[in-house]
A and B are shown apart, each in its own frame.
Chain A
């Protein structure tokens, strides 16, 4: 349905997106995962025709849309990262305004607004000013506005940032429902890997403007099938202990979150012994050790040496 070829965006002094490729089939939920500043929003802005790419192409059903933005705008619903709503209007007034500028006929719009209010669960608050809403309610209305013109494809840019777990679950369920019941194609952007893991059929992981991994959940995790993650908690983290660990062979990656250490090592290697010896030599007390199966977080750690969330 949608393809992106070698998309690049260079701002004055910064290359935010460096030649990424991806595709989406109709009915899929595709995840775009990456830390802040990875270039996700810039990519979305280029797809949705708000920002012209420096190079590359965006194609909708095999047709380039760079010169004809109207085409993609018609089928596209964008949920921006910021809450793009009028705080001094009520929920219904917002929906009415955006519906009308989408040229939805008055009577159709009335019906449609009822449906959307139902979907986002704000029927009982429709007459309240948006500024009186909780973060979660604002996020829901932010999504609702993007649904008004019944888009085939929805792009959501971090739609759950800064809200309570309950609202977050509501939103995740809503996305899933829209996809299952209405076959809406979804591009879901997030830096929460558990959301992406829960929702998405396929995932692109972005960092520093590049796609560093892509595929189904299992495909991506299999990058780590040869590895395991050790989570070690110490009482007091000493520099010598850390240096010693770094010097050990086989250790691929260490990330420190004092007093917890995450270490990625090949599966077959038993490194625990050496770690305990090192602990003894440096007078470090180990309080616990866990062996974890990999998560997308670990994949990211593996690929970049950094954690997704700092």
Chain B
């Protein structure tokens, strides 16, 4: 029976262009408009971090390593100490660490495009966000300092082109902390520089780069794809409830009762069809966003899990609003829901303004609202977080769904009261 209710509901949607416009066309147009408008206004704040780095290496690190090993061989140390020092040479070479463990790490590789060049003309320099220069004899001097003391440690040169840009400041941060770390480890006179430890320390020091470097940045279009899709999912509940109330007011509901369909089954039908409609809707919206705006999801399973849960919540809203309108015998409940409640929860949920930017209490509260939980969970999943990272939001969605279903069950119309 429920199957036929769903089939009927979908047919009605296909026959009602107005509904399709509201559920699919409008949100998509809004995603496009809002996304592009915001992209061009504060492109700097939601950057597609595309750092171009020139790497000029005037130092011959292999030669320096060979030299230093030869010098260690000649030192008056026990054979074991010599071996340990030699083994530490390669892993303690700052240039190697910078090239292989830092710049070529998966986190930074996405963000920084490194070009290894021999030299640059003035003109070519302008094409880069930053230029790193490893001066000749850098490694040599470095090891000299570490193993034999004396001279000052050598320095890498960093030139930032766009000092004020976010790319510039991120590049600077990376190198400043790299230098600090190298200095720390060298002054600690420890030969066993641990590359992992170094990198971890570094990334946690660079407060700004850490989140963007570990997780994908989301474009404005991506943000509004989430915000608008979540908001318009709720309109499915409104539309389904409108249809349900039409069924009551033109006495189709009576006919359905006369066919001996239990009232809870009827409401289950409303629930499932809202679920199906909003699940289709969200996939179409994100599908279009992926095709046209290149808004993609790193993990489809996470995305689908969240979408299923949100669609179920939409179903719960649909039956609650329907049940209220049945009890009041008036369409007012549906109208209030669509014109007051949805915009409100969408606003609090951050469909229009990224709540994360407002920050503070608002951001905290938002996470516990129906739309806010959806928006922030989609956002994090789009960034590449796992379901465990959005467990708070998932629990919020689940709890809301269960509560709404329970309320509906209590207030659903009883036999003989439906007039």
Contacts and interface: CB of A to CB of B under 8 A. Distances in A.
Given A89-B15, A102-B259, A129-B15, A97 B419 contact: no
Nearest to B255: A84
B108 to A, nearest CB: 56
A13 to B, nearest CB: 14
Contacts of B252: 84-86
Given A70-B260, A89-B11, A97-B4, A78 B255 contact: yes
Interface in A24-51: 45, 48-51
A51 B416 contact: yes
Contact of B259 (A86, A88, A96, A101): A101
A220 B251 CA distance: 34
Contact of A50 (B1, B8, B418): B418
Contacts of B419: 45, 50-51
B290 interface: no
A45 B415 CA distance: 12
Contacts of B8: 86, 89, 93, 97
Interface in A257-275: none
A98 B255 contact: yes
Interface in A66-105: 69-70, 73-74, 76, 78, 80-86, 88-89, 93, 96-98, 100-103
B340 interface: no
Contacts of A96: 4
Given A80-B254, A86-B252, A101 B416 contact: no
Nearest to B16: A88
Given A86-B8, A97-B8, A100-B1, A52 B415 contact: yes
Interface residues of B, number: 25
B261 A101 contact: yes
Interface string B219-260: 000000000000000000000000000000011101111111
A11 to B, nearest CB: 8
A110 B260 CA distance: 21
Contacts of A88: 11-12, 15-16
Contacts of B1: 100-101, 103
Nearest to B416: A52
A145 interface: yes
Interface in B246-279: 250-252, 254-261
Nearest to B3: A100
A145 B259 CA distance: 11
Interface string B281-303: 00000000000000000000000
A294 B16 CA distance: 52
A74 B255 contact: no
Interface in B1-26: 1, 4-5, 7-8, 11-12, 15-16
A61 B419 CA distance: 27
B20 to A, nearest CB: 12
Contact of A80 (B255, B261, B416): B255
B154 to A, nearest CB: 79
Interface in B392-419: 415-419
A97 B255 CA distance: 11
A101 B256 contact: yes
Contacts of B251: 80-82, 84
A93 B15 CA distance: 12
Contact of A78 (B4, B15, B258): B258
B159 to A, nearest CB: 68
B189 to A, nearest CB: 82
A101 B260 CA distance: 8
B12 A89 contact: yes
Contact of B255 (A52, A69, A70, A145): A145
Contacts of A69: 415
A73 B250 contact: no
Contacts of A52: 415-417
Contacts of A83: 250
Contacts of A70: 260
A51 B257 CA distance: 11
A93 B8 CA distance: 8
B14 to A, nearest CB: 9
Contacts of A78: 254-255, 258
A100 B3 CA distance: 10
Interface string A136-176: 00000000010001000000000000000000000000000
B352 to A, nearest CB: 33
A167 B256 CA distance: 26
Nearest to A79: B255
A293 to B, nearest CB: 39
Contacts of B250: 82-85
Contacts of B416: 49-52
Best-buried of A78, A84, A129 by chain B (most CB within 10 Å)? A84
A86 B12 contact: yes
A86 B250 CA distance: 9
Nearest to B251: A84
Nearest to B2: A101
Given A51-B419, A73-B260, A74-B260, A84 B254 contact: yes
B418 A73 contact: no
B258 A48 contact: yes
A149 B260 CA distance: 12
Nearest to A149: B259
Interface of B: 1, 4-5, 7-8, 11-12, 15-16, 250-252, 254-261, 415-419
20 contacts: A45-B254, A49-B258, A50-B258, A50-B418, A73-B257, A73-B260, A78-B258, A82-B250, A84-B250, A84-B252, A84-B255, A86-B12, A86-B252, A89-B8, A89-B11, A97-B4, A97-B7, A100-B4, A102-B259, A103-B259
Given A78-B254, A100-B4, A102-B259, 8 more contacts: A48-B258, A49-B415, A49-B416, A80-B254, A85-B250, A93-B8, A96-B4, A129-B15
Question: What are the 4 A-B residue pairs with the smallest beta carbon separation, nearest first?
Answer: A52-B416, A88-B15, A84-B251, A100-B4
